[in-house]
Amino acid sequence: MSRSSIQTLTISGQDVVKNGSQNSSEDAKALLKPSTPSKKPPKPENSITIAVSSRVLFNMDKEQQIFEQQGMEEYIKYQVAHETEPFSPGPAFSFVKALEAVNTQLRDLYPESEELFDVVLITNNHAYVGLRLINTINHHQLFIERFCMTGGNSPIGYLKAYNTNLYLSSDPIKVREALEEGIAAATMFTPEKMTEVSETQLRVAFDGDAVLFSDESEQIYKAHGLDKFFEHEKAHENKPLDHGPLKGFLEVLGKLQKKFYAKGQRMDCPIRTYLVTARSAASSGARALKTLRSWGLEIDEALFLAGAPKGPILEKIRPHIFFDDQMFHVEGAAEMGTVACHVPYGIAQRVPERKGLNDKEVSSIK
């Protein structure tokens, strides 16, 4: 498209690009809501950094299709031509809004503290596409000040520089790369119909083995069967499990929860955590709970399902996000409307599973 037909406007302190010349300011104002009032982002060393890819924060399916079928140049042209059209929310959107709601309450209780969630947009999009992302963030009144746009290169190398506590992407290859670097990460999927979630309480649900805990017990089950697994867990009941890839994220959630508890808000804390595990309470649940206790971590609710499907339970919990290492459980959760994330860690990843959802390992703009 011709750049001569584009003019730059400023709305709420942000540059906005609008095609054409007639009534540009009024049209742009109609399209874009005012940006979130300016707040100073916390220093990275003090914050809990959540890195999200553009394709999990927003719905970019149409744009991704153009990229895959027509290539980068046509993709960039399309994005520039639609700069003032905000993307619709993606699967991580409600999670990010819940993080911001927690921050609002933390700022009220601890005005000088920088111990807050800090959302960073991590994408291998070209910087030329960044304006549409900024316009969309302003439209939805999100508070996201930190961007990393790598122009087609993998953004994984920047995650440590941002002190990332959790990385969410729709690309399973990048997620595996992050996990290999010791960064908590998960592949996020989009349910066909997302369940409504709380706007005032952040709810996070975790599987146990190979998510919060290591996969050592799962290795026993895979190699020797269920009976040997039960025997092993009973014999090692008082030996804590080693940590899994998401333990650190549960730790930072617990640290923030204690700040609310200190202000007398244990019963109405805006953060709630759940353990949703296929373990049986009587035969293998004790070790899981004792492990959490040995780490000094609390979990608000523990649900031992003894192999029953997780989807119906998660439908009742209505978490903003659920982490599991097995695609069977991720798919079951998504079918019931839960935003579920796959953690590709441990022995279960070496056992063939059926492909599902949008688990396609293709090059993409994230």
Residues 6+ apart with CB under 8 A from 115: 42, 46, 47, 48, 106, 255, 256, 259
Q: Helix, strand or coil for residue 244?
A: coil
Pairing state between β 6-11 and 14-19: antiparallel
**Tokens representing residue 252 in the block:** 């930072």
CA–CA distance, 140 with 82 (Å, rounded to integer): 16
In contact, 11 and 29? CB cutoff 8 Å = yes
Distances from the Cα of 197 to the Cα of 91, 186, 204, 213, 274, angstroms? 12, 20, 11, 27, 15
118 catalytic residue (yes or no): no
CA–CA distance, 312 with 87 (Å, rounded to integer): 30
Which entry of 118, 171, 207, 215 is annotated as an active-site residue? Answer: 207
Distances from the Cα of 44 to the Cα of 70, 92, 117, 169, 185, angstroms? 38, 21, 10, 20, 18
CA–CA distance, 213 with 296 (Å, rounded to integer): 14
Kindly list the catalytic residues: 207
